[in-house]
């Protein structure tokens, strides 16, 4: 079948349906061949006798997903981008200028170029299906809307609503789209096409007048924000918000803001689109955009994976799940499972502990209600999915049991051995351990093929990563089932081999240890933290992160690492005084920083230096050394985990895990993408210099040295 079948005109009397159904693809997208075909269709419609045309999709859950991202990734020259954008503008302008009424009947995802396409239509109507999402996610890919979105969306919905969508890369559902004026009506999915036909007939009967909905401010505040005096205030506040969120590391939102400020109210369409195109080209040719697009592809790849490479694996359907341990972590796990329709039974040894789990889940759902993401009906339905017990009642129907009790190997093994007696033979038991050996724990299970690690990160509702830890005897089915369950719970799973710290903590702990050495070298806590956040792009600095994790937990994990990895893990002299100080971090209100009763960070606790046996900081190290020693330590450890110990199989696994599990700056592409950008030779040479100055812990590992010797990259 040809591309002609992907976009076809279907006559309905004096109304035409323009049906989108991209042949051989699961989604409709605006690839180059599709754009050529769209140009032909628009030309045909311009010469036809139809009085109205309705754009509809024949894909399930998809209207138009957007432009072809693979094409964007491949283009590197400004000239090629200009050619593509000029062509798109020409086609979209022709659609906007059709002499007949144009209506978009939207059901499913209408994103990026798809949203920009429907903005050229006179009218838009959408379905109330939960699959309907309309928006412009381009800034998440390091680009800006380039097919007219920066020009047409503000004219359609006004400045505040358009800035909210464009700068954050948001999509809105049908009801919200109707509320802000992005669509003219939101109707039941079953009635969408019929209502669109009715709308077309009404417009034809009224004379078939063209009309692109132009935003008209109402209310004093709305009128002020669109006035000569108010617009600078709106753009100034938007810029402050972007800088607060991005710290200036992401140029796309700032460029989009600049384009909108220049073009809003401009009557010359071609000039406005030209300004947008210039802005698009400027950001699309950056390494940041390429890195964010690579991250998008990593995320898309996970959707297609099973967690087991190279073979077909049967995945157990999980409808009933138990959680052992109903504290904050257990309640968080129960909440994300119930949110996705899984029936969850929490078990603990006291009613008080169960109450903590229920309360935590309820608090998360309540916040979702306050943000209009849930109705009261939804809240009740989701909370009803969670039940509690003090014994093993109901465990016979469980497909999966997630153990989330205290981090003590003997207690965990005892509970696992007990739980096995109360579940079906084919039930999978998963441990949520963050540091203990899954292999050793599996000894408590009579059938270790059905035992696996499922490491959630705290807080569960916010942290997207789940490490699926495969022990030597874990079956393909158990691995694939937990991998699929993680995705269903809205998480990004990465399969890792059992080993000290698994993947994320294995890379994170040497980094945190090295920053303790940096503290010993005379650096101030706030300066180093600020460099890591405001100069490198981490979500929080290392000392603030240790406070968040818990200084008692950090102490315990350092000891585990020392025992597992030997002298390669050098213990900082401040570790024992830090432990003896009884500072626990945020949870006790006192760590490297002080915190108020609500857990809000206050200032650095200056008394900590003396307690650790340190002089007042003199900040003798450079910004570069502080950043290099911490980050290069992670890269060094990653080379061992990936190349020597095969904790994961691909550099993409490392990068995805570090971005999703630690917030490693996405704009840098991930830890190993960053390493490749610097060059393994450069990193190895710098580590040699730091090792000679600071000690053998910083000496490049053999795998890293081998890469450097041959000038090879991790992604090679």
| pLDDT at site 374 | 87
User: What is the dihedral sign for C-alpha 641, 647, 653, 655?
Assistant: negative
| pLDDT at site 213 | 64
**pTM of the full structure:** 0.91
Distances (CA, A) of 259 to 96, 144, 262, 272: 21, 9, 5, 8
Distances (CA, A) of 234 to 71, 162, 588, 685: 35, 12, 40, 49
| pLDDT at site 369 | 92
Torsion on CA atoms 172, 178, 183, 188, rounded to nearest 10: 90
| pLDDT at site 434 | 87
| pLDDT at site 453 | 97
Q: Which residue among 320, 455, 650, 682 is the active-site one?
A: 455
- On the question of a cis peptide bond just before residue 370, with omega within 30 degrees of 0, the verdict is no
In the chain the domains, ranked by start, together with CATH numbers, are 3-285 (3.90.226.10), 320-498 (3.40.50.720), 505-709 (1.10.1040.50)
**Annotated catalytic residue 455:** yes
Note whether 632 and 701 are within 8 A (CB): no
| pLDDT at site 547 | 95
The span from the CA of 72 to the CA of 668, in Å, is 18
Question: Can you give the length of the chain in residues?
Answer: 716
The span from the CA of 293 to the CA of 352, in Å, is 47
| pLDDT at site 212 | 63
DSSP state of 532: I
| pLDDT at site 1 | 44
- For the chain, first and last CA: distance in Å? 37
- The low-confidence residues of the chain, meaning pLDDT below 70, are 1-2, 211-213, 215
H helical segments located in 640-679? 651-662, 671-678
The span from the CA of 412 to the CA of 165, in Å, is 46
From 121, 270, 308, select the one nearest 196 (Cα to Cα). 121
């Amino acid at each position: 079948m040809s591309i002609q079948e992907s976009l076809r005109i279907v006559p309905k009397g004096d109304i035409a349906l323009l049906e989108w159904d991209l042949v051989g693809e699961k989604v409709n997208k605006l690839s180059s061949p599709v754009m050529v075909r769209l140009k032909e269709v628009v030309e045909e419609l311009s010469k036809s006798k139809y009085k109205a045309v309705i754009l509809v999709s024949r894909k399930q859950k998809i209207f138009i997903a957007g432009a072809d991202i693979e094409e964007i990734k491949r283009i590197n020259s400004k000239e090629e981008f200009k050619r593509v954008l000029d062509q798109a503008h020409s086609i979209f302008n022709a659609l906007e200028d059709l002499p007949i009424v144009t209506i978009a009947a939207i059901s499913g995802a209408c994103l990026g170029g798809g949203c920009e396409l429907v903005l050229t239509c006179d009218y838009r109507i959408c379905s109330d299906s939960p699959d309907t999402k309309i928006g412009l996610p381009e800034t998440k890919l390091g680009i800006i809307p380039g097919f007219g979105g920066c020009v047409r969306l503000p004219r359609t919905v006004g400045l505040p609503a358009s800035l909210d969508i464009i700068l954050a890369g948001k999509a809105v559902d049908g009801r919200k789209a109707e509320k802000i004026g992005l669509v003219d009506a939101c109707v039941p999915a079953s009635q969408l096409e019929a209502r669109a036909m009715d709308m077309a007939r009404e417009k034809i009967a009224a004379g078939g007048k063209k009309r692109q909905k132009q935003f008209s401010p109402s209310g004093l505040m709305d009128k002020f924000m669109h006035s000569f005096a108010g617009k600078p205030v709106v753009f100034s506040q938007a810029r402050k918000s972007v800088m607060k969120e991005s710290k200036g590391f992401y140029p796309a939102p700032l460029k989009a803001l600049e384009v909108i400020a220049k073009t809003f109210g401009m009557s010359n369409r071609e000039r406005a689109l030209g300004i947008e195109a210039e802005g698009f080209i400027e950001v699309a040719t950056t390494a940041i955009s390429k890195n964010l697009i690579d991250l998008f592809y990593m995320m898309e790849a996970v959707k297609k994976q099973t967690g087991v490479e190279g073979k077909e694996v049967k995945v157990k359907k999980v409808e009933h799940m138990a959680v052992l341990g109903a504290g904050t972590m257990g309640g968080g796990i129960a909440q994300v499972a119930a949110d996705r329709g899984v029936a969850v039974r929490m078990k603990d040894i006291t009613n008080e502990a169960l109450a903590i789990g229920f309360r935590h889940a309820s608090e998360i759902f309540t916040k979702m209600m306050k943000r209009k993401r849930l109705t009261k009906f939804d809240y009740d339905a989701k909370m009803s999915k969670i039940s509690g017990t003090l014994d093993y009642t109901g465990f016979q129907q469980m497909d999966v049991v997630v153990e989330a009790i205290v981090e003590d190997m003997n207690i965990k093994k005892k509970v696992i051995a007990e739980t096995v007696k109360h579940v079906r033979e084919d039930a999978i038991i998963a441990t949520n351990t963050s540091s203990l050996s899954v292999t050793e724990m599996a000894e408590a299970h009579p059938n270790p093929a059905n035992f696996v690690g499922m490491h959630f990160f705290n807080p569960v509702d916010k942290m997207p990563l789940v490490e699926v830890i495969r022990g030597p005897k874990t079956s393909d089915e158990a691995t694939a089932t937990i991998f699929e369950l993680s995705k269903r719970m809205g998480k990004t799973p990465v399969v890792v081999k059992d080993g000290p710290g698994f993947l994320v903590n294995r890379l994170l702990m040497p980094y945190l240890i090295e920053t303790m050495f940096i503290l010993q070298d005379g650096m101030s806590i706030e300066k180093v933290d600020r460099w890591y956040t405001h100069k490198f792009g981490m979500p929080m600095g290392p000392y603030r992160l240790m406070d968040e994790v818990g200084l008692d937990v950090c102490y315990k994990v350092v000891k585990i690492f020392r025992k597992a990895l030997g002298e390669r893990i050098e213990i900082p002299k401040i570790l024992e005084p830090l432990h003896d100080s009884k500072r626990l971090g945020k949870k006790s209100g006192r760590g490297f920083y002080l915190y108020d009763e609500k857990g809000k960070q206050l200032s650095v606790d200056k008394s900590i230096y003396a307690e650790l046996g340190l002089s007042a900081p003199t900040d003798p190290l450079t910004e570069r050394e502080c950043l290099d020693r911490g980050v290069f330590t992670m890269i060094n450890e990653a080379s061992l985990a990936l190349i020597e110990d095969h904790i994961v199989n691909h550099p993409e696994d490392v990068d995805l895990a570090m971005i999703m599990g630690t917030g490693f700056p996405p704009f840098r592409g991930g830890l190993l993408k960053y390493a490749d950008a610097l060059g393994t030779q450069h990193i190895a040479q710098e580590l040699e210099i730091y090792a000679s100055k600071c000690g053998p812990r910083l000496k490049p590992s053999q795998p890293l040295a081998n890469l450097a010797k041959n000038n090879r990259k991790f992604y090679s």
